[in-house]
Amino acid sequence: MNLRHLEHWLALAETGSFSRAAEKLHITQSALSRSIQALEDDLGGILVDRIGKKNELTPLGRSVLDRARRIVHEAQELKEGAALLQQGGLGTLRVGLGSGPGAMLMTPWLVYMAKYHPTVQVTVSRGSTELQLTQLRERQLDALVVDVRQVEAAPDLKMAHVVEMRAGFVCRQGHPLLSLHPDGVPFDALLAFPIASIPLSQEVARLLVDHYGPQANPAQMTTLQCEDIASLIDVVGQTDAIYLGIVGAAREGMAQGGLVELPMQTPLKAQARLGLITLVGRSELPAMSVFGEFVQKHLTD
């Protein structure tokens, strides 16, 4: 099977027109028709119904489309990756970070790349897990680091470097609850203060309710909510708000002494499972190994 025939087929499928596809490819319509015919001969079936000026994909054509797109993209990535390695470079890398990973990884990752790989074009994207999965599958992103419990298992997704990170409650040093309840804070006492959290999954919501009762339902308990954990932790450091989430995301503030984990009478036994997600079968970009090593080193509790 000829890779060029697949490229021609994709152009036809995307434009819906032999004339527009030929123009896009800078070839004649007759050459395009011969190329599509050769691909149909290879596959043993018709890919497109030619109905006057209208062209419609056949069931075989629709089934071939996604695979053809993957093959062409992977061939392009392989060629680009080989060229970069020959030149001694690492190329580009576009990664998506969930809320927790973003708080822990984004600035250190950008600093690391600026120091040690200054010629690599690095893009970091933030957003919901659903949006980032779509971007990964559409090859707008090369990898994600997210809570894998929010990702449905699928044959096209590969998960690596999965790390469990403990969740808990964090407040500023000197918070009234620390002096009022030195031996452990009862959950009810938290509710007198703003609770800051990212949007939580139904799984985590059920765990909180099972652990602390109906009053722990995030829909009612959480008063400050956004996708950016770093902003929530900044608010907690400046007010009496209490952060609920991955404790590791607040480790810098805790190390500097400005933040402290609240000791609870009933400790929260919950964990996030963070991992690196890529597409199965996709050619690995040269810079991906650098990112994988960085994630494995820095995703620690």
Q: What is the pLDDT of residue 208?
A: 92
For 283, what's the count of Cα atoms within 13 Å in the CB-facing half-sphere?
15
pLDDT value at residue 65: 80
pLDDT score, position 87: 47
Tell me the per-residue pLDDT of 223-238, one tens digit each, with 9 for 90 and over.
999 888 889 999 999 9
Q: Per the structure block, which two tokens stand in for 34? A: 């011969």
- Taking only the tens place, the pLDDT of each residue in 23-37 is 888 899 888 888 888
Q: State pTM to two decimals.
A: 0.63
The alpha helices in the chain, defined as continuous H runs, are 3-15, 18-25, 29-43, 59-87, 99-116, 129-137, 176-180, 187-190, 202-212, 218-221, 229-238, 251-255, 288-298
pLDDT category at 81 given cuts 50, 70, 90 is low
Report all structural domains of the chain as residue ranges with CATH numbers, in order of start: 3-86 (1.10.10.10), 95-162+274-298 (3.40.190.10), 164-272 (3.40.190.10)
The average confidence (pLDDT) of the chain is 86
Q: Give the pLDDT confidence score for residue 235 in this predicted structure.
A: 96
Q: What is the per-residue pLDDT across 148-180, written as a single tens digit (0 to 9) for each?
A: 888 888 999 999 878 888 899 999 999 999 999
